[in-house]
Structure 1
Amino acid sequence: MNRFRRHAILLLMTVWIAGWQCSFAQEPIKPSANQKQLPLVVMLIAEREYQTEKTLPQFAAEHLDDDYRVKFVYADDDDPNRLIGIEAVVDADVLLVSVRRRTLPTEQLDLIRSYVADGKPVVGIRTASHAFSLRNQDPPDGYDAWPSFDQDVFGGNYSNHYSNDIKAVISASTLKAGDNQSDSSMIGEQLSSLNRHQEPFVSGGSLYQVVPLLSGSTVLLSGKIEGHPSEPVAWTFQRKDGGRSFYTSLGHVDDFRGESLPKWLHAAIDWAVAN
């Protein structure tokens, strides 16, 4: 009888401890006051070419976690033109766009339009130059396009790209005021320093054709293919709404494996939020 009682007591204690641990594990972890004060970077990820659904979270974990809060907004698996959790854009301090040819529900695209119109900073990589429009096709009913997003937000002029088999050499551009270049003092010391110390490297992806850029742009990196004119690869842009943007056509998975793109992207986010 005593032996049975001991087993019963042990069983009850085990059940109680397990229940207590389960309750403890489900207790929500509240962000600290310091974490709440960190700037919020919202990353829109909706493309199938460059695996940024993997490379951007890894980049954020390695380079942003100490200084920023980061939220990821992905395309709906059942409807690739709908972004799940896009409401986070309302509270974003920096919006990073990695989207390729998606026409969003009108109310979702309006959130992005409103964010930009408020003069808030935008960072774009690779396919962000053709993020919200289809090629020679109208959006379906209830969905909307923004064909001029590249010009309006990045001052860009994406038209095509060179063959994937031809690799471009990327190097620093000479900062100057004039033509399509804005005052180089507007880009800040961190981006200026990267520009001064950048060594040439080979891009992982094809070279985008983006000239001419709009007035208000400052080209930081250029790409060159032998026998062809150079193309801007990274630049800042002072928008008409008062906001500022950074764009780079880098973003291939091999670019993230290299040293240059993570440095530039980190510096661009710092520059964007510093205003």
Structure 2
Amino acid sequence: MKKNTIIFALLLACMTSYAQEWIRFEGKKGPGKGKHIVLISGDEEYRSEESMPMLAKILAEHHGFDCTVLFAIDPETGNVNPEVNDNIPGLELLATADLMLINTRWRKLPDDQMKHIDDYLMSGRPVVGLRTSNHGFRNETGNYVHYSSTYKKEDPSHPWYRGFGGLLFGDHYVKHHGKHKHESTRGIIAEGAEKHKIMRGIEDGEIWGPTDVYGCRVAHLPITPLVMGQVLERAGEFDKNDRFFGMRPSDKPLAGPKNNPMIPVAWLKDYQHPNGGKKGLAFHTSMGSSTDLENGGLRRLVVNATYYVLDMKVPKKGTKVDYVGTYTTTAYGFMGKEFWDKKGLKPSDLK
């Protein structure tokens, strides 16, 4: 009996230790009750460690989803550290997920972690990807090099062309189409998408974010464009101390070829894992910094898309996206490992 008690205590301690590496929000009342969303952060630039907990709170509190948020974790300290690109604990929880919501950038995860993502895609369950998820992995060794954003980059006909981003969303990040930190993005509803269920409750031009439009080749692929990215010209001065860098929603469209034609910044695409996986549906927006998601229209786009890919009824006036508690954002940019080591941020600090 004493031996069993000791074993149980050790198991409990182990579970508690692992639980500290991610955070969980229990769903309240709502249409999502009984469904589980795993939100995966892990990018050095666009502050997904800020945005993913905020989205999880909205999805749990207003819509009833159980939400688990995963982070890039320094295994030596247990701290959240996006500069550590080879460790995201908790991916095994995808086994019980109804939806994977991902915003990673050039991760090099070990095979035992990548397998959980691969198993998820084999099942054909839906995916919602934000900003850098279209170049979410950069595996150079192991069994999952085909997830890398540089994989088969010379062969657009290959099913794993450009890796994870190519399979799920049609391409990976190609270049900054708008000028980085100088030309922001206004979302214009794509022609023919005005009555799409994902666009409910979103006015034309309402979506705005201080990130630039990403260049991509999806306009040539079988996708369903939802939002086009209008490149804006900053009216004021560049301000490195402003989280929007001096850009504002009132800025006017940039004259010239960057807006002729405009490039999609949100779309739907069917996907299927080439190794005999089931067919699935993916939504992607190349917007999605934590500061982008201060915009209510963009938050509604993401939550509406969550309903849609889960085959749930999107409310006629769109989903509720009011903040739960406070939401404090940081200007996007690279902080460096020393910054994160000094910050000492734990997952629990983000709950």
TM-score normalized with structure 2 length: 0.59
2:104 is equivalent to residue 99 of structure 1: yes
Q: Deviations over 1:226-264 (max 9, x none)?
A: 321411100011113410000001112221111111100
CA distance in 2, matches of 1:33, 1:209: 39
Do the aligned partners of 2:124 and 2:280 also contact (CA within 8 Å) in 1? yes
Give the corresponding residue for 2:74: 77
Quickly say closer, same or farther: Cα 1:221–1:189, change in 2 above 3 A: closer
Write out aligned runs for 1:40-189 (5 A).
40-65=36-61, 66-78=63-75, 79-133=84-138, 138-139=140-141, 144=145, 146-147=147-148, 148-162=163-177, 163-164=179-180, 165-175=182-192
The alpha carbon displacement at 1:50 in A equals 1.4
Q: Deviations over 1:1-27 (max 9, x none)?
A: xxxxxxxxxxxxxxxxxxxxxxxxxxx
Counterpart of 1:190 (choices 188, 193, 197) is 197
Give the corresponding residue for 1:9: none
CA distance in 1, matches of 2:146, 2:86: 11
CA distance in 2, matches of 1:62, 1:113: 27
Give the corresponding residue for 1:254: 291
CA distance in 2, matches of 1:84, 1:218: 33
The gaps in structure 1 that reach 5 residues or longer are: 1-30, 177-183
The alpha carbon displacement at 1:88 in A equals 0.5
The alpha carbon displacement at 1:192 in A equals 4.3
Q: Secondary structure at the match of 1:104?
A: coil
The alpha carbon displacement at 1:155 in A equals 2.0
Choose between structure 1 and 2: higher helix proportion. Answer: 1
Q: Deviations over 1:167-201 (max 9, x none)?
A: 2332110127xxxxxxx9xxx95314356x33354
The alpha carbon displacement at 1:211 in A equals 1.8
Give the corresponding residue for 1:238: 270
Give the % identical residues.
23
CA distance in 2, matches of 1:206, 1:110: 33
Do the aligned partners of 2:183 and 2:210 also contact (CA within 8 Å) in 1? no
Give the corresponding residue for 1:204: 210
Counterpart of 2:306 (choices 237, 260, 269) is 269
Give the corresponding residue for 2:14: none
- Which has the larger Rg? 1
Do the aligned partners of 1:132 and 1:145 also contact (CA within 8 Å) in 2? no
CA distance in 2, matches of 1:50, 1:263: 19
Bigger drift between 223-232 and 87-96 goes to: 223-232
CA distance in 2, matches of 1:107, 1:121: 22
Bigger drift between 201-210 and 92-101 goes to: 201-210
The gaps in structure 2 that reach 5 residues or longer are: 1-25, 76-83, 149-162, 232-253, 273-277, 313-351
The alpha carbon displacement at 1:37 in A equals 5.4
2:228 is equivalent to residue 222 of structure 1: yes
Q: Secondary structure at the match of 2:71?
A: strand
Q: Secondary structure at the match of 2:200?
A: helix
Do the aligned partners of 1:103 and 1:145 also contact (CA within 8 Å) in 2? no
Aligned length: 230
CA distance in 2, matches of 1:55, 1:266: 13
Do the aligned partners of 2:111 and 2:144 also contact (CA within 8 Å) in 1? yes
